[in-house]
Amino acid sequence: MPARLVTIGDSLSQGMISGSVSQTEWSFPAAIARCLGETPTLSGGGDRAFRIPTFIGEGGLPINLEKILRLLVERYGPKVSWFDVVPAALSVRSLLDRVEDYWERGEGSQALPTGSLHHNLATFGFKLGDCDTLTEAICRRVIPEPKDNVIGQVPEFSMYRAARRTLNPSFAKEYEHFSQLEAARAIAQSEGGIENLIFWLGSNNCLSTVTQLKIRRSQPEDLEKFPYEINANLWQPEHFQSLLDRVAPKIDALGAQNVFIATIPHVTIPPVSRGISPGLSDTNALSADGYYEYYTHFWIWDADFAKSPERYAFLSREEARLIDRTIDEYNKSIKTLAQQRGWHIVDMCDVLDRLAYRRQGGEPSYSLPSGMIEALQANPATRYKSLPDTRFLRIVSKSNGAEREYQGGVFGLDGFHPTTLGYGIIADAFLKIMAEKGVSLPYSIDWNTLVAADTLWIDLPENLLNLRDTLGFLYHRTPLAQLVENVL
């Protein structure tokens, strides 16, 4: 029986939330697989299994920010006092020590019993161009001998560790030279073909511009390099086109009945970089085309930045425009290629543009799925909360102190990767196109289950009520900046 679904992608397809890949069963491909009648499984499974890798240990890889926030709430309440700063920092360090040990030297570095090949082949950090070059063998050679890092405490070479567990979970010799595309080809050969292939890569060809707040353009020689050899964080459109032209025939060679390829979202919209126009607020802070004067890290408060912008890293309004224009060129190439090859476009750039809360002056034009709204209203933990939007997650006390307002909910605590409900929105967008193209979908998204599984939405950590202090603590006392600037 042909594989109903195979996915090639990056962290957005693997299911990263709040800085870690942990619950891969709630990724958007897993949600789609359920609608196709497949069962996402971490342990082999039968004919109707959608095999996915496991990253459950110690909150996932590389660092689970939600786990850190809940640890702080449990031990120190909704706000870390001055008296508790040192013990709180030591508590976080102890947690991160365990995380680093687990993934670099412990069980997380060992082979998995999840089958020889996964149907979800997505790996966080992958760029367009990695899908036909990076293999488990290459990743194994890149990873150095582990050492206990008492300063950074982010598991080193996390992407390569994740790729090993995803591309060749059993660490078998026969699969060690399989890239994402080669693993998909092996699935097609062993299972009698692929019915639906999702291909979504390219966000990491531009994402680091808004996490590192600087632009480094690709050079022609970067086309022949491995990721660890490349310094660029914004691929020039002609180089992106070259990568597309290189991988397109290999995608076609898989012989999938349907290929669904997604466009690249504008990376200046997620709250991982915060738009600020000092001295201006609301829609007055936006230019006519929806851009702020500056874009800086989300842990920097507006008032602090406004006093002296030169103290902080930032992108200018024109740099933000340049990044988005470059992404527009990527998407033109993707759409043209899809039309030429008979692939189906899922326009995730358009979805995020219409979801954008701040860019649209607080009035996003995207209609959230009715099933999601009904499930949120039916769940006692969410029925009185606002609907999800693209702002950074936080709890705001109203003037009387008795009521609360909940903001955000589409993106998790790293400011870029969706929450479980955010991934539900992505799955819904894909499923609409799949239905239009005649794919049989015997089931619909179980929104009640997705709402119940979204721990951030069901039970926001209480320290999000003191967001400024919480982000300040994370920035000064944890590897937050290292995680955002060098891993996401």
Q: Which residues pair with 21 in a beta bridge?
A: 61
Tokens of 286: 């936006």
Query: Per-residue confidence of the chain (488 residues) as pLDDT tens digits?
Result: 899 999 999 999 999 999 999 999 999 999 999 999 999 987 666 678 999 999 988 999 999 999 999 999 999 999 999 999 999 999 999 999 999 999 999 999 998 876 679 999 999 999 999 999 999 999 999 998 876 655 557 899 999 999 999 999 999 999 999 999 999 999 999 999 999 999 999 999 999 999 999 999 999 999 988 888 999 999 999 999 999 999 999 999 999 999 999 999 999 999 999 999 999 988 899 999 999 999 999 999 999 999 999 999 999 999 999 999 999 999 999 999 999 999 999 999 999 999 999 999 999 999 999 999 999 999 999 988 899 999 999 999 876 656 788 999 999 999 999 999 999 999 999 999 999 999 999 999 999 999 999 999 999 999 999 999 999 999 999 988 888 887 77
Tokens of 281: 């607020």
This prediction has a pTM of 0.96
Tell me which residue of 348, 353, 361 sits closest to 286, measured CA to CA.
Answer: 361
Q: CA of 286: how far to CAs of 315, 320, 357, in Å?
A: 15, 13, 12
Q: CA of 127: how far to CAs of 10, 24, 65, 488, in Å?
A: 7, 20, 24, 12
Q: Round to whole Å and give the CA distance between 351 and 32.
A: 17
Q: Would the CA dihedral through 438, 440, 446, 450 be positive or negative?
A: negative
Q: Round to whole Å and give the CA distance between 14 and 267.
A: 18
Residue 401, Cβ neighbours under 10 Å: how many?
Answer: 7
Q: Round to whole Å and give the CA distance between 29 and 427.
A: 7
Hunting for tokens 């999702």 — which residue is that? 198
Q: What is the pLDDT of residue 100?
A: 94
- Specify whether the CB–CB gap between 181 and 132 falls below 8 A: yes
- Nearest 5 degrees, angle CA 93-CA 94-CA 97? 85
Q: Round to whole Å and give the CA distance between 390 and 376.
A: 17
